[in-house]
Structure 1
Amino acid sequence: MIKVPLENELEDLSLRQDLLQKEIAGSTNIANATMNGYFTGQQEVPMEKAIRIAEESGDNLFTSQLSYKFLGFIKSMDGKLANTTAAELDVFQRIESDERKEHKKRAERLIVENKIRELDIEELDEIEQYGMEFLDEIIVEMAIVFKIFDAVSLDIREAVKEKMPEWISKNYMKEG
Protein backbone atom coordinates (compact mmCIF):
# COMPACT_ATOMS: atom_id res chain seq x y z
CA MET A 1 0.00 0.00 0.00
CA ILE A 2 1.43 3.35 -1.09
CA LYS A 3 1.52 6.06 1.58
CA VAL A 4 2.81 9.63 1.41
CA PRO A 5 3.05 12.56 3.83
CA LEU A 6 0.35 15.15 3.10
CA GLU A 7 0.40 17.47 6.11
CA ASN A 8 1.10 20.62 4.04
CA GLU A 9 -1.46 19.73 1.39
CA LEU A 10 -4.11 18.95 4.03
CA GLU A 11 -3.45 22.21 5.87
CA ASP A 12 -3.74 24.15 2.61
CA LEU A 13 -6.95 22.28 1.73
CA SER A 14 -8.40 23.09 5.14
CA LEU A 15 -7.64 26.79 4.67
CA ARG A 16 -8.86 26.96 1.06
CA GLN A 17 -12.11 25.15 1.81
CA ASP A 18 -12.55 26.76 5.24
CA LEU A 19 -12.91 23.31 6.81
CA LEU A 20 -11.85 22.14 10.20
CA GLN A 21 -9.76 19.00 10.49
CA LYS A 22 -12.66 17.25 12.24
CA GLU A 23 -15.03 18.22 9.40
CA ILE A 24 -12.73 16.61 6.86
CA ALA A 25 -12.48 13.53 9.09
CA GLY A 26 -16.26 13.34 9.45
CA SER A 27 -17.09 13.74 5.77
CA THR A 28 -14.56 11.07 4.80
CA ASN A 29 -15.30 8.61 7.62
CA ILE A 30 -11.69 8.78 8.79
CA ALA A 31 -11.18 8.73 12.55
CA ASN A 32 -10.33 12.11 14.09
CA ALA A 33 -7.15 10.71 15.65
CA THR A 34 -6.03 9.31 12.30
CA MET A 35 -6.80 12.60 10.52
CA ASN A 36 -4.84 14.44 13.20
CA GLY A 37 -1.88 12.18 12.47
CA TYR A 38 -2.17 13.07 8.78
CA PHE A 39 -2.33 16.80 9.55
CA THR A 40 0.65 16.73 11.90
CA GLY A 41 2.74 14.52 9.65
CA GLN A 42 2.98 11.78 12.26
CA GLN A 43 1.25 9.41 9.82
CA GLU A 44 1.53 9.09 6.08
CA VAL A 45 -1.74 8.97 4.15
CA PRO A 46 -2.65 5.81 2.20
CA MET A 47 -3.70 6.41 -1.39
CA GLU A 48 -7.27 5.16 -0.83
CA LYS A 49 -7.84 7.66 1.99
CA ALA A 50 -6.22 10.49 0.06
CA ILE A 51 -8.59 9.78 -2.84
CA ARG A 52 -11.53 9.76 -0.43
CA ILE A 53 -10.48 13.20 0.86
CA ALA A 54 -10.11 14.49 -2.71
CA GLU A 55 -13.51 13.17 -3.72
CA GLU A 56 -15.24 14.64 -0.68
CA SER A 57 -13.54 18.02 -0.96
CA GLY A 58 -13.90 18.40 -4.73
CA ASP A 59 -10.75 20.54 -4.55
CA ASN A 60 -8.89 20.55 -7.87
CA LEU A 61 -5.61 21.70 -6.39
CA PHE A 62 -5.63 18.93 -3.78
CA THR A 63 -6.46 16.38 -6.50
CA SER A 64 -3.54 17.62 -8.57
CA GLN A 65 -1.21 17.50 -5.59
CA LEU A 66 -2.21 13.88 -5.01
CA SER A 67 -1.48 12.92 -8.60
CA TYR A 68 1.97 14.42 -8.16
CA LYS A 69 2.67 12.88 -4.74
CA PHE A 70 1.42 9.38 -5.56
CA LEU A 71 2.07 9.07 -9.28
CA GLY A 72 4.65 11.69 -10.19
CA PHE A 73 2.30 13.51 -12.58
CA ILE A 74 2.51 17.25 -13.07
CA LYS A 75 0.87 19.04 -10.20
CA SER A 76 -0.87 22.31 -10.64
CA MET A 77 0.72 25.58 -9.76
CA ASP A 78 0.33 26.15 -6.05
CA GLY A 79 2.90 28.91 -5.64
CA LYS A 80 2.32 32.66 -5.78
CA LEU A 81 1.24 32.47 -9.41
CA ALA A 82 -1.84 30.52 -8.29
CA ASN A 83 -3.12 33.68 -6.61
CA THR A 84 -3.37 35.53 -9.93
CA THR A 85 -6.48 35.99 -12.05
CA ALA A 86 -7.19 34.04 -15.23
CA ALA A 87 -6.41 37.20 -17.23
CA GLU A 88 -3.05 37.56 -15.49
CA LEU A 89 -2.31 33.88 -16.10
CA ASP A 90 -2.99 34.52 -19.79
CA VAL A 91 -0.15 37.07 -19.76
CA PHE A 92 2.19 34.51 -18.19
CA GLN A 93 1.07 31.94 -20.76
CA ARG A 94 1.97 34.32 -23.61
CA ILE A 95 5.38 34.93 -22.04
CA GLU A 96 6.04 31.19 -21.81
CA SER A 97 4.74 30.65 -25.34
CA ASP A 98 7.06 33.34 -26.70
CA GLU A 99 10.03 31.76 -24.91
CA ARG A 100 9.16 28.35 -26.38
CA LYS A 101 8.75 29.78 -29.87
CA GLU A 102 12.26 31.28 -29.69
CA HIS A 103 13.58 27.70 -29.70
CA LYS A 104 10.99 26.11 -31.98
CA LYS A 105 12.44 26.50 -35.48
CA ARG A 106 15.92 25.27 -34.60
CA ALA A 107 14.65 22.46 -32.35
CA GLU A 108 12.24 21.13 -34.97
CA ARG A 109 15.03 21.15 -37.56
CA LEU A 110 17.36 19.31 -35.18
CA ILE A 111 14.70 16.71 -34.33
CA VAL A 112 14.37 15.92 -38.06
CA GLU A 113 18.14 15.97 -38.61
CA ASN A 114 18.52 13.52 -35.74
CA LYS A 115 16.87 10.94 -38.03
CA ILE A 116 19.80 11.09 -40.46
CA ARG A 117 22.80 12.06 -38.34
CA GLU A 118 24.00 11.97 -34.77
CA LEU A 119 23.59 15.31 -33.03
CA ASP A 120 26.27 16.85 -30.86
CA ILE A 121 25.72 17.71 -27.20
CA GLU A 122 24.88 21.38 -27.91
CA GLU A 123 22.24 20.37 -30.45
CA LEU A 124 20.72 17.86 -28.04
CA ASP A 125 20.69 20.55 -25.35
CA GLU A 126 18.79 22.87 -27.72
CA ILE A 127 16.11 20.21 -28.23
CA GLU A 128 15.94 19.64 -24.48
CA GLN A 129 15.61 23.38 -23.83
CA TYR A 130 12.71 23.52 -26.29
CA GLY A 131 11.00 20.72 -24.37
CA MET A 132 11.62 22.49 -21.06
CA GLU A 133 10.08 25.70 -22.42
CA PHE A 134 7.06 23.62 -23.47
CA LEU A 135 6.74 22.34 -19.90
CA ASP A 136 6.76 25.91 -18.57
CA GLU A 137 3.94 26.78 -20.94
CA ILE A 138 1.94 23.65 -20.07
CA ILE A 139 2.20 24.37 -16.34
CA VAL A 140 0.78 27.86 -16.79
CA GLU A 141 -1.97 26.50 -19.05
CA MET A 142 -2.85 23.91 -16.41
CA ALA A 143 -3.11 26.70 -13.84
CA ILE A 144 -5.55 28.47 -16.18
CA VAL A 145 -7.64 25.31 -16.56
CA PHE A 146 -7.78 24.80 -12.79
CA LYS A 147 -8.79 28.45 -12.29
CA ILE A 148 -11.58 28.09 -14.88
CA PHE A 149 -12.87 24.84 -13.37
CA ASP A 150 -12.79 26.33 -9.87
CA ALA A 151 -14.97 29.20 -11.10
CA VAL A 152 -17.67 26.74 -12.18
CA SER A 153 -17.05 24.20 -9.38
CA LEU A 154 -16.01 21.49 -11.83
CA ASP A 155 -13.70 18.77 -10.54
CA ILE A 156 -10.77 18.05 -12.87
CA ARG A 157 -11.41 14.30 -12.61
CA GLU A 158 -14.99 14.77 -13.82
CA ALA A 159 -13.83 17.00 -16.68
CA VAL A 160 -11.32 14.37 -17.81
CA LYS A 161 -13.99 11.62 -17.64
CA GLU A 162 -16.30 13.79 -19.72
CA LYS A 163 -13.64 14.53 -22.36
CA MET A 164 -12.18 11.01 -22.57
CA PRO A 165 -14.66 9.65 -25.18
CA GLU A 166 -13.87 12.61 -27.45
CA TRP A 167 -10.12 12.15 -26.99
CA ILE A 168 -10.48 8.45 -27.80
CA SER A 169 -12.54 9.21 -30.93
CA LYS A 170 -9.81 11.66 -32.06
CA ASN A 171 -7.17 8.99 -31.40
CA TYR A 172 -5.49 11.20 -28.77
CA MET A 173 -5.91 8.35 -26.30
CA LYS A 174 -6.45 4.61 -26.56
CA GLU A 175 -9.56 3.02 -25.14
CA GLY A 176 -9.21 1.07 -21.93
Structure 2
Amino acid sequence: MRKPKGVIEVFLQPGELYFSDRYTRLRTLLGSCVSIVLWHREALLGGMCHYLLPTSCHPDHKPDGRYADGALHQLLREIRMSGTHARDYRIGLFGGGNMLESRNRQHIGQRNVEAGLALLAAHGLACHAQDVGGEGYRNLIFDVWSGSIALRHPNPQHVANRRNEASSS
Protein backbone atom coordinates (compact mmCIF):
# COMPACT_ATOMS: atom_id res chain seq x y z
CA MET A 1 0.00 0.00 0.00
CA ARG A 2 1.19 3.48 -0.78
CA LYS A 3 2.48 5.41 2.17
CA PRO A 4 0.63 8.66 3.03
CA LYS A 5 2.61 11.87 3.51
CA GLY A 6 4.12 12.37 6.96
CA VAL A 7 4.41 8.67 7.78
CA ILE A 8 7.63 7.51 9.43
CA GLU A 9 9.08 4.07 8.84
CA VAL A 10 10.55 2.15 11.73
CA PHE A 11 12.62 -1.00 11.21
CA LEU A 12 12.62 -3.27 14.25
CA GLN A 13 15.78 -5.15 15.08
CA PRO A 14 15.60 -8.33 17.19
CA GLY A 15 14.60 -7.48 20.75
CA GLU A 16 12.93 -4.19 19.81
CA LEU A 17 9.31 -3.08 19.91
CA TYR A 18 7.42 0.02 18.87
CA PHE A 19 3.94 1.37 19.62
CA SER A 20 2.61 4.37 17.75
CA ASP A 21 -0.17 6.11 15.87
CA ARG A 22 -1.50 6.33 12.30
CA TYR A 23 1.64 8.07 11.06
CA THR A 24 3.76 4.94 11.29
CA ARG A 25 4.85 1.99 9.17
CA LEU A 26 6.63 -0.80 11.04
CA ARG A 27 8.93 -3.29 9.32
CA THR A 28 11.01 -6.23 10.38
CA LEU A 29 12.69 -9.37 9.06
CA LEU A 30 11.81 -12.59 10.89
CA GLY A 31 13.51 -15.96 10.91
CA SER A 32 12.96 -18.09 14.01
CA CYS A 33 12.00 -14.88 15.84
CA VAL A 34 8.35 -13.90 16.22
CA SER A 35 6.44 -10.64 15.96
CA ILE A 36 3.22 -9.89 17.76
CA VAL A 37 1.31 -7.16 15.93
CA LEU A 38 -1.52 -5.23 17.61
CA TRP A 39 -3.88 -2.79 15.87
CA HIS A 40 -6.75 -0.66 17.22
CA ARG A 41 -9.17 0.01 14.37
CA GLU A 42 -10.93 3.07 15.85
CA ALA A 43 -7.98 4.81 17.51
CA LEU A 44 -5.57 3.91 14.66
CA LEU A 45 -2.93 2.87 17.17
CA GLY A 46 -0.69 -0.13 16.80
CA GLY A 47 2.45 -1.83 17.88
CA MET A 48 4.80 -4.60 17.01
CA CYS A 49 7.54 -6.51 18.79
CA HIS A 50 10.33 -8.73 17.49
CA TYR A 51 11.31 -11.30 20.12
CA LEU A 52 14.05 -13.90 19.90
CA LEU A 53 13.28 -16.36 22.70
CA PRO A 54 10.23 -17.61 24.62
CA THR A 55 11.34 -16.49 28.08
CA SER A 56 14.34 -15.40 30.09
CA CYS A 57 16.03 -18.00 32.24
CA HIS A 58 16.43 -15.35 34.95
CA PRO A 59 13.32 -15.34 37.18
CA ASP A 60 13.81 -11.76 38.38
CA HIS A 61 14.58 -10.13 35.02
CA LYS A 62 13.00 -6.82 34.03
CA PRO A 63 10.71 -6.92 30.99
CA ASP A 64 13.02 -7.33 28.03
CA GLY A 65 11.92 -7.22 24.38
CA ARG A 66 14.22 -10.09 23.49
CA TYR A 67 11.82 -12.49 25.23
CA ALA A 68 8.15 -13.17 24.40
CA ASP A 69 6.91 -12.50 27.93
CA GLY A 70 8.87 -9.25 28.29
CA ALA A 71 7.90 -7.96 24.84
CA LEU A 72 4.19 -8.60 25.40
CA HIS A 73 4.42 -7.03 28.87
CA GLN A 74 5.90 -3.88 27.34
CA LEU A 75 3.31 -3.73 24.55
CA LEU A 76 0.47 -4.12 27.06
CA ARG A 77 1.96 -1.30 29.13
CA GLU A 78 2.00 0.94 26.01
CA ILE A 79 -1.66 0.09 25.39
CA ARG A 80 -2.60 1.02 28.97
CA MET A 81 -0.66 4.28 28.68
CA SER A 82 -2.60 5.13 25.50
CA GLY A 83 -5.90 4.87 27.37
CA THR A 84 -7.11 1.96 25.25
CA HIS A 85 -7.75 -1.69 26.17
CA ALA A 86 -5.89 -4.72 24.83
CA ARG A 87 -9.12 -6.61 24.15
CA ASP A 88 -10.05 -3.94 21.54
CA TYR A 89 -7.00 -4.70 19.38
CA ARG A 90 -6.71 -7.07 16.44
CA ILE A 91 -3.71 -9.26 17.08
CA GLY A 92 -1.48 -11.15 14.68
CA LEU A 93 1.45 -13.50 15.24
CA PHE A 94 4.12 -13.95 12.58
CA GLY A 95 7.45 -15.75 12.19
CA GLY A 96 8.85 -18.77 13.97
CA GLY A 97 10.48 -20.26 10.91
CA ASN A 98 12.82 -23.22 11.03
CA MET A 99 16.07 -21.55 10.06
CA LEU A 100 18.48 -24.45 10.58
CA GLU A 101 16.46 -27.10 8.73
CA SER A 102 16.08 -28.87 12.04
CA ARG A 103 14.15 -32.11 11.98
CA ASN A 104 13.30 -31.49 15.62
CA ARG A 105 9.61 -30.54 15.89
CA GLN A 106 10.49 -28.32 18.86
CA HIS A 107 12.99 -26.04 17.14
CA ILE A 108 13.36 -22.51 18.56
CA GLY A 109 10.96 -21.00 16.02
CA GLN A 110 8.21 -23.41 17.06
CA ARG A 111 8.87 -22.74 20.75
CA ASN A 112 8.66 -18.99 20.07
CA VAL A 113 5.28 -19.41 18.36
CA GLU A 114 3.92 -21.58 21.17
CA ALA A 115 5.11 -19.06 23.78
CA GLY A 116 3.42 -16.16 21.96
CA LEU A 117 0.10 -17.99 21.61
CA ALA A 118 0.19 -19.14 25.24
CA LEU A 119 0.93 -15.62 26.50
CA LEU A 120 -1.91 -14.13 24.46
CA ALA A 121 -4.29 -16.78 25.80
CA ALA A 122 -3.09 -16.18 29.37
CA HIS A 123 -4.05 -12.50 28.97
CA GLY A 124 -7.44 -13.42 27.48
CA LEU A 125 -6.44 -12.12 24.04
CA ALA A 126 -7.38 -13.78 20.76
CA CYS A 127 -4.98 -14.12 17.84
CA HIS A 128 -6.86 -12.95 14.73
CA ALA A 129 -4.21 -13.68 12.09
CA GLN A 130 -1.08 -15.74 11.91
CA ASP A 131 1.57 -16.88 9.50
CA VAL A 132 3.98 -19.04 11.44
CA GLY A 133 6.38 -21.93 11.09
CA GLY A 134 7.61 -23.30 7.81
CA GLU A 135 11.11 -22.85 6.48
CA GLY A 136 13.08 -19.68 6.04
CA TYR A 137 12.44 -16.05 6.79
CA ARG A 138 9.71 -13.46 6.24
CA ASN A 139 9.66 -9.74 5.55
CA LEU A 140 6.85 -8.16 7.57
CA ILE A 141 5.38 -4.70 7.00
CA PHE A 142 2.61 -3.26 9.20
CA ASP A 143 0.88 0.01 8.30
CA VAL A 144 -0.68 1.45 11.45
CA TRP A 145 -2.88 3.90 9.48
CA SER A 146 -4.80 1.03 7.82
CA GLY A 147 -4.00 -2.12 9.81
CA SER A 148 -2.61 -3.63 6.62
CA ILE A 149 -0.02 -6.38 7.05
CA ALA A 150 2.18 -7.44 4.15
CA LEU A 151 4.32 -10.56 4.29
CA ARG A 152 6.89 -11.64 1.79
CA HIS A 153 8.48 -15.08 1.76
CA PRO A 154 11.58 -15.18 -0.42
CA ASN A 155 11.16 -18.94 -0.74
CA PRO A 156 8.12 -19.68 -2.97
CA GLN A 157 8.06 -23.25 -1.62
CA HIS A 158 7.28 -21.88 1.85
CA VAL A 159 4.90 -24.21 3.63
CA ALA A 160 3.61 -22.76 6.86
CA ASN A 161 0.91 -23.30 9.39
CA ARG A 162 -0.98 -20.39 7.91
CA ARG A 163 -4.27 -18.87 8.87
CA ASN A 164 -4.68 -15.44 7.36
CA GLU A 165 -7.64 -13.31 8.18
CA ALA A 166 -7.68 -9.73 6.97
CA SER A 167 -6.38 -7.55 9.76
CA SER A 168 -8.83 -4.84 8.89
CA SER A 169 -11.98 -6.98 9.01
TM-score strictly above 0.5: no
Task: Tell me the TM-score normalized by structure 2.
Answer: 0.23
Larger Rg: 1
Structure ranking higher in helix proportion: 1
Task: Tell me the TM-score normalized by structure 1.
Answer: 0.23
Highest RCO, 1 vs 2 (Cα 8 Å, sep ≥ 6): 2
